[in-house]
Amino acid sequence: MNIYAYIVRRLLYVIPILLGVCAIIFILFNVVSPDPTLIMLGKHASVEQMESLRRELGLDRPYYVQYLDIVKSAFTFDFGRSWSTKQEISSMIANGAVPSLTLTLPAFFLATLVSISISLLVAFFRGKFFDKFIVFVCVAFMSISSLAYIIFGQWFFAYKLGWFEISGYEHGFPYFIPYVILPIIIWIILSVGPDVRFYRTVMLDEVYQDYVRTAKSKGLSDKIILFKHVLKNAMIPIITYVVIQIPFLILGTLLLESFFSIPGLGSMTLNAVNSLDFPVIKAVTVLSAVAYIIFSVITDVLYTIVDPRVRLN
């Protein structure tokens, strides 16, 4: 099948999936969740006050109209206004995306590069001391809470040594760089453990395949086998693991942005949860769902690029 026809067909499949996702979001926020007017006004609010607020927020409209609003927002990215700040949510997302991406993109790229590099070394020295040591370090890193890394990093490296900024953010390049270096380092430390364990498993699965033994019998060196054959054949699970994480980079990371006072989408989402700002929470949920679906299609297309054996059906 032509790749462009496949992409069009997959994008058409996205429509019913997106409608179903919007239905789930609608049920969670408009049907199952408690009455937001009661939460916002308190238990001593009168019926008249609650009805007035419901009309103001548009919650008195029929359910199908509220559901169509969510569907419309998924295709137009017009999410209305925030209940707490009264700002256009689309503008809030646009303003918060830049600080989030200045943190998440370099952190994710470096963490992926470091993890794959370590995994290749582990596969090269499989069964030896280096392999066992790296596995031990990964498990040790994963056993420590992310809060511990954040608090220790701020106290020791930022406060005691003064190597990094403790918190804050300045817009514009290169002014934001001093504020994101420490969060990026912490992100890499938090990611390397689970990433290396996953990539190591993928690499070792390939190392013990028949084609590797055949390549060795032909006299190819371990380095050529590892980098030219094993890495290439391991790309499908690696692509799946990497690309599916990309949509979540848009939201940044709640803990890092909160502790380091970075005004990104993670902080915006956390503030929305604390203030019960349902429109913002729904907007973030819809945006995440749309991004996840789109990158799922991209993942399938990338399969055919890295492995000709995969066919678009």
Strand-pair partners of 88: 81
- Each residue of 27-57: pLDDT tens digit? 888 777 777 777 777 777 777 777 887 888 7
Six-digit token pair at 260? Answer: 């380091």
Residue 98 has pLDDT above 80, yes or no: yes
Nearest alpha-carbon partner for 2 in 304, 309, 306: 304
DSSP 3-state of 312: coil
Taking 3-state DSSP, the helix, strand and coil percentages for the chain, each rounded to the nearest 5, stand at: 75, 0, 25
Please compute the mean of the pLDDT values over residues 152-180 and round it to a whole number. Answer: 88
CA pair distance 100, 267, nearest whole angstrom: 9
Question: What DSSP character marks residue 81?
Answer: B
Per-domain boundaries in the chain: 3-76, 95-276
CA pair distance 207, 201, nearest whole angstrom: 10
- Each residue of 219-276: pLDDT tens digit? 777 778 877 778 777 888 888 888 888 877 766 677 888 889 888 888 888 888 888 7
Instruction: Return left, alpha or beta for 258; rule: phi > 0 is left, psi -120 to 50 is alpha, else beta.
Output: alpha
Residue 313 has pLDDT above 70, yes or no: no
- Each residue of 267-292: pLDDT tens digit? 888 888 888 788 888 888 888 888 88
Interior CA angle at 192 toward 189 and 197, to 5°?
A: 150
Six-digit token pair at 227? Answer: 């980098």
CA pair distance 39, 45, nearest whole angstrom: 10
Helices 278-306 and 89-124, axial angle in degrees (round to 10): 40
- Each residue of 52-87: pLDDT tens digit? 878 887 878 888 888 898 888 888 888 888 888 888
Task: Output the pLDDT for position 156.
Answer: 92
Residue 277 corresponds to which amino acid? Answer: D
Six-digit token pair at 213? Answer: 């033994």
Class of domain 95-276: mainly alpha
Q: How confident is the model at residue 310 (pLDDT cuts 50, 70, 90)?
A: low
Q: What does pLDDT average to over the chain?
A: 83
